[in-house]
Amino acid sequence: MATVIQHCAVLGSPISHSLSPVLHTAAYRALGLKNWSYEQCEVTSGSLQVFLSQIDSSWKGLSLTMPLKRESLSLGTAEDYWTSKLGIANTAILMEQVQESHRLLNLYNTDVEGIVCALAASSSGDGNQFEPFDMIRALESVNDVEQTIFTDIPIDGSVMVIGTGATACSAIAALHTIGATELIIAARHLERALQAQQLAKTLGFRSVRVVDMEEGGMFLAHACLVVSTIPAGAADSMARSLEEGYQTCRKQEYDPVLLDVVYGSGQTRLSSAWSRVRKGVALQGDRMLLYQAVRQVSLMTSVPIEDIPVHAMDSAMREALL
């Protein structure tokens, strides 16, 4: 009898840069899942339903990236709190049921925990030894917008999110779960910031301010924690403003932290300016990518979260980035 390969993939556009295949393949190898395959598929906006109609029952799970994180909600059911609250999913489990010629999806958001775990690993003192499982379990069980779960990640003032898209909304949710109350949203197009602004108010941020990216640099000098969700180079003007106005930087009790979700292209100008001017911690997006993949692998393979080989996955990704 021929061996049936269980298929999973990351979908989006553009997709050629994705390191998700490296992470998932490393997990399959460490778990001994010889009949599992993970690939990348170029799927543009409006094409997800067509893709779903073309795959067979050997397909088990999908990682969703830009521009599919919102589009997927019309094709499936939100299965966790943050998917339902944000209207954003980055993980789809393919069900046997078929509707309108495509298999139904159970949808999950693991981006929120990916961001929280990346920040927690940085503040733990030894990110290489950080174990994310308890934190992921706690975030998985969230069912109330008022639940602030983690208070051991230092917050010393305002926090900032650069961008207004799907990942920015997940970042706002992540910052809420660690107790942030004062939020600045830096937007390339102010009219597109309304959804992110409304989300922040719904979550209960005490102060929410939307600023144009051209003036965002001055706020970089004061924020204790920044998450940038825009492409490499898109925040260069903010980095330049930070470099030119370094005399105004606020001194803080804790090292300020920047998480730049860009990965694979070396240090961005924003990360470089942050390290040099703010003397802070600059994390690249591979940290978020690693931790959001843990529950993804578990959901797709039915392997318990605690058994997911996160360190083997991390080693494979670090090697791929060399």
pLDDT of residue 203: 95
Say if 306 falls within a structural domain: yes
Say if 148 falls within a structural domain: no
Residues 159 and 262 in one domain: yes
User: 177 is in which domain, residue-wise?
Assistant: 154-284
Residues 84 and 163 in one domain: no
Helices 111-123 + 166-177 axis angle, to 10: 50
Residues 105 and 181 in one domain: no
Residues 172 and 243 in one domain: yes
Residue 98 belongs to domain with CATH number: 3.40.50.10860
Q: What does the pLDDT look like over 19-59, one tens digit per residue?
A: 999 999 999 999 999 999 999 999 999 999 999 999 999 99
Residues 173 and 221 in one domain: yes
Residues 267 and 300 in one domain: no
Within the chain, where are the H helices? 20-31, 48-53, 81-86, 111-123, 133-140, 166-177, 194-203, 213-220, 236-244, 269-273, 286-301, 310-321
Three-state SS at 78:
strand
Q: What does the pLDDT look like over 204-246, one tens digit per residue?
A: 999 999 999 888 888 898 999 999 999 988 999 999 988 887 6
Residues 201 and 274 in one domain: yes
Q: pTM for this one? A: 0.95
Residue 219 belongs to domain with CATH number: 3.40.50.720
Q: Among the listed ranges 18-32, 57-71, 172-186, 236-250, which one has the minimum average pLDDT value?
A: 236-250
Say if 85 falls within a structural domain: yes
Q: Is 12 left (phi over 0), alpha (psi -120 to 50) or beta?
A: left
d(CA 157, CA 224): 6
pLDDT of residue 113: 97
Residues 89 and 161 in one domain: no
* Nearest of 85, 65, 122 to residue 260 by alpha carbon: 122
Residues 88 and 178 in one domain: no
Say if 139 falls within a structural domain: no
Reply yes or no on whether the pLDDT at 153 is more than 90.
no
Say if 302 falls within a structural domain: yes
**Total of domains in the chain:** 2
Residues 224 and 267 in one domain: yes
Say if 200 falls within a structural domain: yes
Residues 100 and 10 in one domain: yes
Residues 204 and 297 in one domain: no
DSSP letters, 157-209, are S-EEEE--SHHHHHHHHHHHHTT--EEEEEESSGGGGHHHHHHHHHHT-SEEE
Say if 119 falls within a structural domain: no
Q: What does the pLDDT look like over 89-98, one tens digit per residue?
A: 999 999 987 7
Say if 161 falls within a structural domain: yes
Task: Name the token pair of 224.
Answer: 């204790």
Other C-beta atoms within 10 Å of 162: how many?
27
Other C-beta atoms within 10 Å of 30: how many?
17
